[in-house]
Amino acid sequence: MKASTAHLRSVVDEAVAELRGQMSLAQIAELLGVSVQRVSQIATGKHGAARPGPSLIYAYRIPGHGSGWHGQPDALPIGSYGAGTITFNPGTSPSPVAPGTPIEVRYGPVPDDGLPAYLQGYTTVNGRQVRPTAIVQNELFPGSATG
């Protein structure tokens, strides 16, 4: 019985890790028939297989600008990261990027750069709440004292 339970746990842990890049926690919880809290615990490694690292926005570009990728575009190999487009909304923070500008982003399990919690800004990409690395945040919000 213990072997079966351990195997089942590992299957659920792997399923959550795989689906996490494609669905929100609420969608995964509904699919598995468990609470969002339980899926969150599994996804963060508190009671399940630890994820390789936080999923952070590590690169961005402005389509049609010709300036290429900013941040650390080569941090992860092709096929191992998520990508999406967000509408940039800096609020009242000064930025060289105009509000309403579409920005393509790459996000994935890059090392957490230790950005203090009070400076972390989150956005939703493909239904997931993610935050930028300090490098990306510094480029989008120069002078924001994130370094």
Q: Angle between the 2-19 and 36-44 helix axes, to the nearest 10 degrees?
A: 90
- Mean of the per-residue pLDDT values of the chain: 80
Residues 137 and 117 sit within 8 Å (Cβ to Cβ) = no
Residues 97 and 62 sit within 8 Å (Cβ to Cβ) = yes
Give 60's pLDDT tier (boundaries 50, 70, 90).
Answer: very high
CA atoms of 13 and 16, how far apart (whole Å): 5
What does the pLDDT average to over 39-68?
73
What does the pLDDT average to over 62-86?
90
Q: What is the pLDDT of residues 4-17, one digit of tens each?
A: 565 666 667 777 77
The model's pTM is 0.61
CA atoms of 97 and 21, how far apart (whole Å): 27
| 128-132/55-61 β-pairing | parallel
